[in-house]
Structure 1
Amino acid sequence: MIKFHEDFCQREIKYLHHGTTIQPYISFVGEDVQSISSCYVRVNQRFWCFEDPLIALEVCFNTFFVFNCNYPKECYDSWLIVQQLLFQLHTPHDKSTSITKSVSGQF
Protein backbone atom coordinates (compact mmCIF):
# COMPACT_ATOMS: atom_id res chain seq x y z
CA MET A 1 0.00 0.00 0.00
CA ILE A 2 2.97 2.30 0.58
CA LYS A 3 4.06 1.91 -3.05
CA PHE A 4 0.50 2.62 -4.13
CA HIS A 5 0.49 5.90 -2.17
CA GLU A 6 3.93 6.87 -3.52
CA ASP A 7 2.75 6.29 -7.10
CA PHE A 8 -0.32 8.43 -6.45
CA CYS A 9 1.80 11.28 -5.03
CA GLN A 10 4.18 11.16 -8.02
CA ARG A 11 1.25 11.28 -10.42
CA GLU A 12 -0.27 14.22 -8.57
CA ILE A 13 3.02 16.18 -8.71
CA LYS A 14 3.36 15.43 -12.44
CA TYR A 15 -0.11 16.75 -13.19
CA LEU A 16 0.33 19.84 -11.01
CA HIS A 17 3.60 20.56 -12.83
CA HIS A 18 1.69 20.56 -16.14
CA GLY A 19 -1.10 22.73 -14.73
CA THR A 20 -3.77 20.05 -14.97
CA THR A 21 -5.77 17.97 -12.54
CA ILE A 22 -5.84 14.23 -12.14
CA GLN A 23 -8.93 12.77 -13.76
CA PRO A 24 -10.57 9.54 -12.57
CA TYR A 25 -8.36 6.50 -13.07
CA ILE A 26 -8.07 2.81 -12.16
CA SER A 27 -5.20 1.12 -10.34
CA PHE A 28 -4.99 -2.66 -10.47
CA VAL A 29 -3.32 -4.53 -7.60
CA GLY A 30 -1.84 -8.00 -8.07
CA GLU A 31 1.27 -9.95 -8.96
CA ASP A 32 0.49 -9.74 -12.69
CA VAL A 33 -2.43 -9.18 -15.06
CA GLN A 34 -3.58 -12.78 -14.52
CA SER A 35 -3.82 -12.41 -10.73
CA ILE A 36 -5.49 -9.07 -10.01
CA SER A 37 -6.59 -9.14 -6.38
CA SER A 38 -8.28 -5.75 -6.22
CA CYS A 39 -8.86 -2.57 -8.18
CA TYR A 40 -9.03 1.00 -6.99
CA VAL A 41 -10.89 3.79 -8.74
CA ARG A 42 -9.61 7.22 -7.80
CA VAL A 43 -11.93 10.22 -8.00
CA ASN A 44 -11.26 13.56 -6.28
CA GLN A 45 -8.56 12.18 -3.95
CA ARG A 46 -10.79 9.31 -2.82
CA PHE A 47 -10.23 5.68 -3.62
CA TRP A 48 -12.94 3.06 -4.00
CA CYS A 49 -11.95 -0.58 -3.88
CA PHE A 50 -13.46 -3.21 -6.19
CA GLU A 51 -12.68 -6.89 -6.57
CA ASP A 52 -14.00 -7.11 -10.13
CA PRO A 53 -11.92 -5.24 -12.75
CA LEU A 54 -14.94 -4.87 -15.07
CA ILE A 55 -16.97 -3.17 -12.36
CA ALA A 56 -14.02 -0.87 -11.64
CA LEU A 57 -13.85 -0.02 -15.36
CA GLU A 58 -17.57 0.74 -15.47
CA VAL A 59 -17.45 2.90 -12.33
CA CYS A 60 -14.41 4.82 -13.58
CA PHE A 61 -16.01 5.36 -16.98
CA ASN A 62 -19.26 6.57 -15.42
CA THR A 63 -17.43 9.11 -13.26
CA PHE A 64 -16.23 10.89 -16.40
CA PHE A 65 -19.84 11.48 -17.39
CA VAL A 66 -21.24 12.19 -13.92
CA PHE A 67 -18.57 14.80 -13.15
CA ASN A 68 -18.30 16.05 -16.76
CA CYS A 69 -14.56 15.29 -16.88
CA ASN A 70 -12.39 15.20 -19.96
CA TYR A 71 -10.46 12.05 -20.74
CA PRO A 72 -6.74 12.48 -20.00
CA LYS A 73 -4.67 13.09 -23.13
CA GLU A 74 -2.44 10.06 -22.54
CA CYS A 75 -5.41 7.69 -22.66
CA TYR A 76 -8.02 9.64 -24.63
CA ASP A 77 -8.13 7.06 -27.43
CA SER A 78 -8.62 4.17 -25.02
CA TRP A 79 -11.48 5.84 -23.17
CA LEU A 80 -13.17 6.93 -26.40
CA ILE A 81 -13.03 3.33 -27.66
CA VAL A 82 -14.54 2.10 -24.37
CA GLN A 83 -17.23 4.78 -24.61
CA GLN A 84 -18.20 4.13 -28.21
CA LEU A 85 -17.72 0.38 -28.56
CA LEU A 86 -18.55 -0.98 -25.11
CA PHE A 87 -21.13 1.54 -23.93
CA GLN A 88 -22.45 2.58 -27.37
CA LEU A 89 -22.35 6.27 -26.42
CA HIS A 90 -21.57 9.01 -28.92
CA THR A 91 -21.47 12.69 -27.99
CA PRO A 92 -20.95 15.91 -29.96
CA HIS A 93 -17.67 16.38 -28.04
CA ASP A 94 -16.05 13.16 -29.32
CA LYS A 95 -12.90 13.79 -31.33
CA SER A 96 -12.03 10.74 -33.37
CA THR A 97 -8.37 10.07 -34.04
CA SER A 98 -6.68 7.75 -36.50
CA ILE A 99 -6.40 5.18 -33.70
CA THR A 100 -10.07 5.30 -32.74
CA LYS A 101 -11.14 5.21 -36.40
CA SER A 102 -8.90 2.20 -37.04
CA VAL A 103 -10.17 0.25 -34.03
CA SER A 104 -13.81 1.16 -34.68
CA GLY A 105 -13.43 0.06 -38.29
CA GLN A 106 -12.48 -3.42 -37.11
CA PHE A 107 -15.80 -3.90 -35.30
Structure 2
Amino acid sequence: MVESYWEVTTKERLNDLASKNMTISNYFTKYKAINLSGGIYLLLMDFKIMYPDYGDKFNENWPLIKSKLISIAKKKGLINEIDESNEEQTDLAALTSLPFSMSTSNVTSTKKATKKTQWRPSKREVLEGFITQVASPAEVAVEITRKRDKLMEMDLQMQPFVIAVVSPNKSITARYIVINNITYEMPTITKAVEACLKAIFVLNAEYPKESRHVWQFVQTVLFELKTKYDKSFTAVNTLISDLGIKT
Protein backbone atom coordinates (compact mmCIF):
# COMPACT_ATOMS: atom_id res chain seq x y z
CA MET A 1 0.00 0.00 0.00
CA VAL A 2 2.77 2.45 0.94
CA GLU A 3 4.74 1.57 -2.19
CA SER A 4 1.64 2.14 -4.35
CA TYR A 5 1.07 5.56 -2.78
CA TRP A 6 4.73 6.39 -3.35
CA GLU A 7 4.49 5.50 -7.02
CA VAL A 8 1.28 7.51 -7.50
CA THR A 9 2.84 10.63 -5.95
CA THR A 10 6.15 10.37 -7.85
CA LYS A 11 5.63 13.39 -10.11
CA GLU A 12 4.38 15.62 -7.29
CA ARG A 13 7.19 14.61 -4.95
CA LEU A 14 9.99 15.03 -7.47
CA ASN A 15 8.63 18.48 -8.32
CA ASP A 16 8.68 19.30 -4.61
CA LEU A 17 12.30 18.18 -4.32
CA ALA A 18 13.23 20.38 -7.28
CA SER A 19 11.76 23.42 -5.52
CA LYS A 20 14.26 25.68 -3.76
CA ASN A 21 11.73 26.20 -0.97
CA MET A 22 11.49 22.51 -0.08
CA THR A 23 13.93 21.61 2.68
CA ILE A 24 14.65 18.02 3.63
CA SER A 25 12.92 18.59 6.96
CA ASN A 26 9.79 19.90 5.22
CA TYR A 27 9.85 16.98 2.80
CA PHE A 28 9.92 14.49 5.66
CA THR A 29 7.04 16.34 7.30
CA LYS A 30 4.93 16.35 4.14
CA TYR A 31 5.61 12.74 3.14
CA LYS A 32 5.44 10.92 6.45
CA ALA A 33 5.99 7.45 4.99
CA ILE A 34 9.73 8.06 4.79
CA ASN A 35 9.83 8.53 8.55
CA LEU A 36 9.02 4.83 8.98
CA SER A 37 11.70 2.18 9.40
CA GLY A 38 11.37 1.14 5.75
CA GLY A 39 11.35 4.71 4.48
CA ILE A 40 14.83 4.40 3.02
CA TYR A 41 13.51 1.91 0.47
CA LEU A 42 11.03 4.52 -0.77
CA LEU A 43 13.95 6.85 -1.44
CA LEU A 44 15.70 4.03 -3.28
CA MET A 45 12.61 3.65 -5.48
CA ASP A 46 12.98 7.31 -6.40
CA PHE A 47 16.65 6.90 -7.24
CA LYS A 48 15.77 4.10 -9.63
CA ILE A 49 13.34 6.43 -11.40
CA MET A 50 15.69 9.42 -11.43
CA TYR A 51 18.87 7.52 -12.34
CA PRO A 52 17.75 4.30 -14.06
CA ASP A 53 21.20 3.50 -15.45
CA TYR A 54 23.03 3.72 -12.12
CA GLY A 55 21.02 1.56 -9.75
CA ASP A 56 23.36 -1.45 -9.87
CA LYS A 57 26.67 0.26 -10.60
CA PHE A 58 27.93 0.11 -7.01
CA ASN A 59 27.45 -3.65 -6.78
CA GLU A 60 29.03 -4.19 -10.19
CA ASN A 61 32.14 -2.17 -9.38
CA TRP A 62 32.65 -2.93 -5.70
CA PRO A 63 34.43 -6.33 -5.88
CA LEU A 64 37.29 -5.04 -8.05
CA ILE A 65 37.61 -1.67 -6.29
CA LYS A 66 37.50 -3.36 -2.89
CA SER A 67 40.40 -5.62 -3.84
CA LYS A 68 42.46 -2.66 -5.06
CA LEU A 69 41.70 -0.58 -1.96
CA ILE A 70 42.72 -3.37 0.40
CA SER A 71 45.92 -3.98 -1.54
CA ILE A 72 46.96 -0.32 -1.34
CA ALA A 73 45.86 -0.03 2.30
CA LYS A 74 48.00 -3.01 3.26
CA LYS A 75 51.03 -1.54 1.50
CA LYS A 76 50.53 1.72 3.42
CA GLY A 77 50.04 -0.10 6.72
CA LEU A 78 46.46 1.12 7.04
CA ILE A 79 45.03 -2.35 7.55
CA ASN A 80 46.35 -4.63 10.25
CA GLU A 81 44.57 -7.82 11.20
CA ILE A 82 41.29 -8.62 9.49
CA ASP A 83 39.43 -11.87 9.02
CA GLU A 84 39.75 -12.43 5.28
CA SER A 85 36.94 -15.01 5.43
CA ASN A 86 34.51 -12.43 6.83
CA GLU A 87 33.17 -10.56 3.80
CA GLU A 88 31.61 -7.67 5.68
CA GLN A 89 34.71 -7.18 7.80
CA THR A 90 36.81 -6.84 4.65
CA ASP A 91 34.16 -4.55 3.16
CA LEU A 92 34.44 -2.29 6.20
CA ALA A 93 38.23 -2.36 6.07
CA ALA A 94 38.24 -1.30 2.43
CA LEU A 95 35.68 1.46 2.92
CA THR A 96 37.26 2.88 6.05
CA SER A 97 40.67 2.95 4.37
CA LEU A 98 39.42 5.65 1.99
CA PRO A 99 39.75 8.65 4.35
CA PHE A 100 43.29 7.57 5.24
CA SER A 101 44.27 7.10 1.60
CA MET A 102 43.55 10.73 0.69
CA SER A 103 44.64 14.11 2.00
CA THR A 104 42.11 16.37 3.72
CA SER A 105 41.15 19.97 2.97
CA ASN A 106 39.72 22.93 4.86
CA VAL A 107 36.00 23.13 5.55
CA THR A 108 34.36 26.56 5.63
CA SER A 109 30.97 27.22 7.19
CA THR A 110 28.21 29.14 5.41
CA LYS A 111 29.14 32.28 7.31
CA LYS A 112 31.82 34.71 6.18
CA ALA A 113 35.14 32.90 6.31
CA THR A 114 37.11 33.77 9.42
CA LYS A 115 39.62 31.88 11.47
CA LYS A 116 36.75 30.71 13.68
CA THR A 117 34.79 29.17 10.81
CA GLN A 118 37.72 27.40 9.16
CA TRP A 119 38.09 23.75 10.02
CA ARG A 120 40.65 21.30 8.73
CA PRO A 121 39.28 17.93 9.80
CA SER A 122 41.64 15.15 10.77
CA LYS A 123 41.44 11.91 8.84
CA ARG A 124 39.64 10.40 11.81
CA GLU A 125 37.03 13.18 11.58
CA VAL A 126 36.75 12.56 7.84
CA LEU A 127 36.01 8.91 8.61
CA GLU A 128 33.31 9.95 11.09
CA GLY A 129 31.65 12.00 8.33
CA PHE A 130 31.63 8.92 6.12
CA ILE A 131 31.15 5.92 8.40
CA THR A 132 30.90 6.65 12.12
CA GLN A 133 31.75 3.66 14.30
CA VAL A 134 30.47 3.00 17.82
CA ALA A 135 30.95 0.03 20.14
CA SER A 136 27.34 -0.64 21.16
CA PRO A 137 23.76 0.11 20.04
CA ALA A 138 23.32 2.30 23.12
CA GLU A 139 25.94 4.70 21.74
CA VAL A 140 24.16 5.33 18.43
CA ALA A 141 21.77 8.04 19.65
CA VAL A 142 24.49 9.62 21.80
CA GLU A 143 26.87 9.79 18.84
CA ILE A 144 24.24 11.33 16.57
CA THR A 145 23.58 14.06 19.15
CA ARG A 146 27.31 14.68 19.64
CA LYS A 147 27.86 15.00 15.91
CA ARG A 148 24.92 17.35 15.45
CA ASP A 149 26.06 19.60 18.30
CA LYS A 150 29.63 19.71 16.99
CA LEU A 151 28.48 20.73 13.51
CA MET A 152 26.07 23.34 14.88
CA GLU A 153 28.96 25.01 16.69
CA MET A 154 30.59 25.50 13.27
CA ASP A 155 27.33 26.57 11.62
CA LEU A 156 27.24 23.38 9.54
CA GLN A 157 24.18 21.23 8.93
CA MET A 158 24.29 17.51 9.55
CA GLN A 159 23.99 15.69 6.25
CA PRO A 160 23.07 12.01 5.71
CA PHE A 161 25.75 9.65 6.97
CA VAL A 162 26.39 6.02 7.90
CA ILE A 163 26.90 4.73 11.43
CA ALA A 164 28.02 1.19 12.29
CA VAL A 165 28.12 -0.74 15.54
CA VAL A 166 31.47 -2.54 15.52
CA SER A 167 32.56 -5.01 18.19
CA PRO A 168 36.15 -5.20 19.51
CA ASN A 169 36.86 -8.11 17.15
CA LYS A 170 35.84 -5.89 14.18
CA SER A 171 32.54 -7.70 13.57
CA ILE A 172 29.67 -5.43 12.56
CA THR A 173 26.52 -6.02 14.59
CA ALA A 174 24.38 -3.20 13.14
CA ARG A 175 24.54 -0.60 10.38
CA TYR A 176 22.40 2.51 9.99
CA ILE A 177 21.82 5.48 7.74
CA VAL A 178 20.96 8.72 9.55
CA ILE A 179 18.82 11.25 7.66
CA ASN A 180 16.85 14.12 9.20
CA ASN A 181 17.01 12.56 12.67
CA ILE A 182 15.62 9.27 11.31
CA THR A 183 17.75 6.15 11.72
CA TYR A 184 17.33 3.43 9.10
CA GLU A 185 18.81 0.00 9.73
CA MET A 186 20.52 -1.66 6.76
CA PRO A 187 21.50 -5.32 6.18
CA THR A 188 25.19 -4.75 5.32
CA ILE A 189 27.74 -1.95 5.44
CA THR A 190 27.99 -1.80 1.65
CA LYS A 191 24.20 -1.54 1.36
CA ALA A 192 24.33 1.29 3.89
CA VAL A 193 26.94 3.27 1.93
CA GLU A 194 25.20 2.61 -1.38
CA ALA A 195 21.78 3.62 -0.06
CA CYS A 196 23.15 6.69 1.72
CA LEU A 197 24.58 8.12 -1.50
CA LYS A 198 21.38 7.35 -3.37
CA ALA A 199 19.35 9.13 -0.69
CA ILE A 200 21.64 12.16 -0.87
CA PHE A 201 21.00 12.40 -4.61
CA VAL A 202 17.24 11.92 -4.33
CA LEU A 203 16.88 14.52 -1.57
CA ASN A 204 19.22 17.03 -3.20
CA ALA A 205 21.20 16.91 0.02
CA GLU A 206 24.93 17.61 0.27
CA TYR A 207 27.80 15.37 1.19
CA PRO A 208 29.04 15.93 4.76
CA LYS A 209 31.61 18.69 4.25
CA GLU A 210 34.35 16.95 6.19
CA SER A 211 34.09 13.81 4.02
CA ARG A 212 32.88 15.22 0.71
CA HIS A 213 35.99 14.03 -1.14
CA VAL A 214 35.40 10.47 0.09
CA TRP A 215 31.80 10.56 -1.09
CA GLN A 216 32.93 12.06 -4.38
CA PHE A 217 35.22 9.05 -4.83
CA VAL A 218 32.29 6.70 -4.19
CA GLN A 219 30.14 8.61 -6.66
CA THR A 220 32.78 8.82 -9.40
CA VAL A 221 34.38 5.38 -9.11
CA LEU A 222 31.70 3.08 -7.73
CA PHE A 223 28.61 4.68 -9.25
CA GLU A 224 30.33 6.06 -12.37
CA LEU A 225 27.95 8.99 -11.94
CA LYS A 226 28.96 12.48 -13.03
CA THR A 227 27.00 15.72 -12.71
CA LYS A 228 27.62 19.38 -13.46
CA TYR A 229 27.76 20.04 -9.72
CA ASP A 230 30.72 17.75 -9.03
CA LYS A 231 33.75 19.25 -7.31
CA SER A 232 37.18 18.14 -8.46
CA PHE A 233 39.49 16.95 -5.69
CA THR A 234 43.19 16.43 -6.28
CA ALA A 235 43.18 13.78 -3.55
CA VAL A 236 40.46 11.82 -5.35
CA ASN A 237 42.21 12.04 -8.71
CA THR A 238 45.48 10.90 -7.12
CA LEU A 239 43.87 7.86 -5.51
CA ILE A 240 42.10 6.96 -8.75
CA SER A 241 45.48 7.08 -10.49
CA ASP A 242 47.12 4.99 -7.75
CA LEU A 243 44.39 2.38 -8.15
CA GLY A 244 44.88 2.26 -11.89
CA ILE A 245 41.25 3.11 -12.58
CA LYS A 246 39.91 4.81 -15.69
CA THR A 247 36.92 7.10 -15.16
Q: Distance in 2 between matches of 1:65 and 1:99?
A: 22
CA–CA separation in structure 2 for the residues paired with 1:35 and 1:88: 29
CA deviation string 1:47-83 (max 9, x = no partner) = 0011211111111011110111111221011100000
**Shift in Å, 1:33:** 7.3
Taking structure 2 as the reference length, the TM-score comes to 0.41
Please show how residues 28-39 of structure 1 align to structure 2 within 5 Å.
28-32=164-168, 34-39=170-175
Q: CA separation in 2, counterparts of 1:100 and 1:84?
A: 9
Query: Which of the numbers 52, 74, 79 marks the counterpart of 2:210?
Result: 74
CA contact (8 A) 2:161 2:208 kept: no
Higher strand residue share: 1
Q: Which runs of 4+ in 1 moved over 3 A?
A: none
Match of 1:88 in 2: 224
Task: Give the number of aligned pairs.
Answer: 107
Unaligned runs of 5+ in 2: 1-136
The TM-score with structure 1 as length reference comes to: 0.91
Residue 47 of structure 1: aligned partner:
183
Q: 2:235 aligns with which of 93, 99, 105?
A: 99
Contact 1:64 1:71 in 2 (8 A): yes
Provide structure 1 residue ranges, at least 5 long, that are not aligned to the other structure: none
Q: What percentage of aligned pairs have identical amino acids? A: 26
Point out the more displaced range, 26-35 or 64-73: 26-35
Higher relative contact order by CA 8 Å / sep ≥ 6: 1 or 2? Answer: 2
